[in-house]
Structure 1
Amino acid sequence: MSLLVRKSSSLVVRPSPEPATTTTRATIKLSSFDMGLYNMPTTSLLVFERPLHNAAETIQAALSRALSHYYPIAGRIVAREGGCDGDGGDEDDDEVYIDCNGEGVAFVAASASQALKEVVCFDDLAVYYPDMACGPGDPLLLMQVTEFSCGGFVLGVTWNHGVADGAGMAQFLNAVGELAAGLPSPSVPPVRWDGSLPSLPPSVLEAQQHMLSLEPLSDLVSMHVTISMESIHSIRADFSSSFHGQPCTTFEVALAVLWQCRTRAIGLDPETPILLMFVADVRRHVGAKEGYYGNCIVEQFAMATSGEVADGDVKDVVMAIKRAKDRVPGLLKEDEGQGMVSQQELRNVDTYGMLLVTSWRNLGFDLVDFGSGRPARVTSSGKDMPPSPAVLGFLSNGRDGVSVLSTLVREEHAGAFLAELAKFTVRSS
Structure 2
Amino acid sequence: MSQVVRKSSAVVVRPSPEPGTTRDTIKLSCFDKGLYNMPATTLLVFEHPLHNAAETIRGALSRALAHYYPIAGRIVVVGGGGGDGDDVYIECNDEGLAFIAAHTDHALKELMCFDRSPGARKLLDELAVYYPGMSCGPGDPLLLMQVTEFSCGGFVLGVTWNHGVADGAGMGQLLQAVAELAGGLPSPSVAPVRCDGSLPRLPPSVLEAQQHLLSLDPLGDDLAILDITIPKESIDRVRADFSSSFHGQPCTTFEAALAVLWRCRTRAIRPEPETPTLLVFLADMRKHACAKEGYYGNCIVEQLVMAKSSAVAEGDVKDVVMAIRRAKNQLPDRLKKDEGVVGQQELRELRAYDTLTVTSWRNLGFDRVDFGSGRPARVTASGKDLPPSPGAVGFLCDGRGGVSVLSDLVRQEHADAFLAELAKFM
TM-score, normalised relative to structure 1:
0.93
Cα pair distance change 1:92/1:307, threshold 3 Å:
closer
For 1:276, give the aligned amino acid: L
User: For residues 52-67 of structure 1, what are the structure 2 equivalents within 5 Å?
Assistant: 52-67=50-65
Aligned residue number for residue 374 of structure 2: 373
Letter in 2 for 1:391: P
Partner residue of 1:305 out of 308, 312, 315: 308
Q: Distance in 2 between matches of 1:93 and 1:232?
A: 47
User: Contact between 2:257 and 2:395, CA under 8 Å: does it hold in 1?
Assistant: no
Deviations 1:136-164 (A, max 9, x none): 20000000000111111000000000000
Question: What are the superposed Cα offsets for residues 46-86 of structure 1, whole Å, 9 maximum, x if unpaired?
Answer: 0001110000000000000000000000000001369xxxx
Aligned to 1:278: 281
Q: Give 3-state SS (helix, strand or coil) of 1:146's partner.
A: strand
- Is residue 2:317 matched to residue 1:314? yes
2:173 paired residue number: 171
1:214 paired residue number: 216
CA displacement 1:234-276 (0-9 Å, x = unmatched): 1101111111110010001111000000000011111111100
Alignment-derived partner of residue 116 in structure 2: none
Contact 1:332-1:338 at 8 Å conserved across structures: no
User: What is residue 115 of structure 2 aligned with on the other side?
Assistant: none
Q: Which of 191-200 and 401-410 deviates more?
A: 401-410
1:225 aligns with 2:228: yes
Partner of 1:406: 407
* Aligned-pair CA distance for 1:339: 4.6
- Distance apart, 1:332 and its partner CA: 0.4
2:168 and 2:85 map into 1 onto residues whose CA distance is 29
Helix, strand or coil at the partner of 1:77: strand
Paired AA for residue 254 in structure 1: A
Q: Is the 8 A contact 2:27 2:86 kept in 1?
A: no
Question: Residues of 2 paired with 1:6 and 1:217: CA distance?
Answer: 31
- Which residue type is aligned with residue 17 of structure 1? P
Separation (CA, whole Å) in 2 of partners of 1:27 and 1:418: 49
- The amino acid that maps onto 2:265 is R
Structure 1 contact 327–339 (Cα < 8 Å) conserved: no
Report runs of 4+ in structure 1 exceeding 3 Å deviation: 91-94
The 5 Å alignment of 1:390-429 reads 390-397=389-396, 398-400=398-400, 401-425=402-426
Aligned identity (percent) is 73
5 Å-filtered alignment, 1:6-45, equals 6-18=6-18, 20-21=19-20, 23-45=21-43
Contact 1:72 1:100 (8 Å CA) reproduced: yes
**For residue 123 of structure 1, what is the aligned residue in structure 2?**
125
In structure 2, give the amino acid aligned to 1:98. Answer: I
Of residues 81, 99, 102 in structure 2, which corresponds to 1:110?
102
Alignment partner of 2:218: what SS?
coil
5+ residue gaps, structure 1: 83-90
Contact 2:74 2:92 in 1 (8 A): yes
1:200 is paired with a residue whose SS is: coil
Work out the CA distance in 1 between the residues paired with 2:22 and 2:38.
Answer: 25
- How far is the alpha carbon of 1:3 from its aligned partner? 5.9
RMSD: 1.5
Amino acid at match of 2:229: T
Q: Report the TM-score, using the length of structure 2 for normalisation.
A: 0.94
Cα distance in 2 for residues equivalent to 1:192 and 1:245: 40
Identify the residue that residue 47 of structure 1 maps to in structure 2: 45
Where 1:199 maps in the other structure, the secondary structure is: coil
Task: Confirm or deny: 8 A CA contact 2:305 2:341 kept in the other structure.
Answer: no
Aligned to 1:188: 190
Residues 287-328 of structure 1, C-alpha deviations (whole Å, 9 max, x = no match): 000000000000000000000000100010000000011111
3-state SS, counterpart of residue 409 of structure 1 = coil
2:264 and 2:98 map into 1 onto residues whose CA distance is: 40
Please give the per-residue CA displacement for 1:350-400, whole angstroms capped at 9, x wherever unaligned.
Answer: 2111100001111100110111111111001001126x2x30111242234
Post-superposition CA distance 1:88-108 (Å, at most 9, x none): xxx964510000000000000
Quote the residue 2:238 is aligned against: 235
1:188–1:291: 8 Å Cα contact kept in structure 2?
Answer: yes
Alignment of 1:127-166 (within 5 A): 127-166=129-168
